[in-house]
Structure 1
């Protein structure tokens, strides 16, 4: 077993649980919406657009961090600092993914309320992870040169700027546009990379 395989088991486990938390939150929310429709309480619960758009963005962001592990696969060595870093990084991601959908959707009439309660925390965690990722990558000589290009720095600043804007601007239409733009950014990167 290589060092990467040993470390990736932990990373993949926690990121996999992040994906499960996100999908089970979606399932729980849809079950509640379907049950409220079946009970004749139609219109008493509104999913809205913001929480599902956040879920799509977080899922795409999660995939980017999963593929990030592949980029550094030959540079990882098993030691306590690496294991602690991987566990902390992936655990922060789990918390962000877990917050996207409420544990008890029946406590909300409108999921946009939940979104506005949690989105700053989620974006804050994701921004912190971008900085941690960059700090780590800048310590690796083989990667540093490719990372410090105007394109790479500019795209990262734009990405972080859009998340910061989503933290500050509380307009529903602006939030939707930012979430779509953040998700489209990932789709373009995945398609053309």
Structure 2
């Protein structure tokens, strides 16, 4: 691992760590307010989705440590990806002063959360997509990788655009299962 990558990974880790802390703080506030505000299902699912996706990104960044060249463009891209995640993390759970239930809150913020996660995922797929043309991967691996990503993007879009809490909850739960399953498959 190069010194430049170590610096970039620390920066990326700090920003992603802030997003993880925001989600953890949201869960903590939700637990503290459980007697006055219903916990619901959809907001905790979005919180879990963010945690799973953030951890996956962190691990993927580490996996690319030998391939990554650090430049201003890479630094800006890393900042955009991590800040999109942080913004999404701040939108999952209501602030202490808000009176909305957790599910009502996330239903009104689901588009921002889902599209920030989607945008972060799409931005980070640019380097692997480029390397797919230069790396002799087996075609079946590329097809599986592309199919899993496309399915994940469809589930995120469905979660953002569906009006029913039940549909949103099912889409987010399926996305969580897909990410955890794909992570286990490609680990």
Q: Rate the CA distance shift 1:167–1:49 in 2: closer, same or farther, 3 A.
A: same
Contact 1:105 1:111 in 2 (8 A): no
Contact 2:20 2:51 in 1 (8 A): yes
Contact 2:26 2:93 in 1 (8 A): yes
Aligned to 2:144: 151
Aligned to 2:12: 11
SS for the counterpart of 1:74 is coil
Q: Rate the CA distance shift 1:145–1:130 in 2: closer, same or farther, 3 A.
A: farther
Structure 1 gaps, min length 5: 37-44
Aligned to 1:42: none
Separation in structure 1 between the aligned mates of residue 130 and residue 181 of structure 2, nearest angstrom? 28
TM superposition shift of 1:144 = 5.5
TM superposition shift of 1:137 = 2.5
**Greater CA radius of gyration, 1 or 2?**
1
Q: How many residues align?
A: 183
Separation in structure 1 between the aligned mates of residue 32 and residue 97 of structure 2, nearest angstrom? 10
SS for the counterpart of 2:181 is helix
Contact 1:32 1:105 in 2 (8 A): no
Separation in structure 2 between the aligned mates of residue 147 and residue 170 of structure 1, nearest angstrom? 40
Please tell me whether residue 93 in structure 1 is matched to residue 85 in structure 2.
yes
Decide which of 126, 129, 151 is 2:120's aligned counterpart: 129
TM superposition shift of 1:87 = 1.4
Normalised to the residue count of structure 1, the TM-score between the two structures is: 0.86
Q: Rate the CA distance shift 1:3–1:143 in 2: closer, same or farther, 3 A.
A: farther
Name segments (4+ residues, structure 1) moved above 4 Å: 141-145
Separation in structure 2 between the aligned mates of residue 147 and residue 2 of structure 1, nearest angstrom? 32
Q: Rate the CA distance shift 1:139–1:191 in 2: closer, same or farther, 3 A.
A: closer
Contact 1:29 1:105 in 2 (8 A): no
Cα RMSD of the aligned pairs, angstroms, is 2.1
SS for the counterpart of 2:12 is helix
Contact 1:137 1:143 in 2 (8 A): no
Separation in structure 2 between the aligned mates of residue 7 and residue 147 of structure 1, nearest angstrom? 30
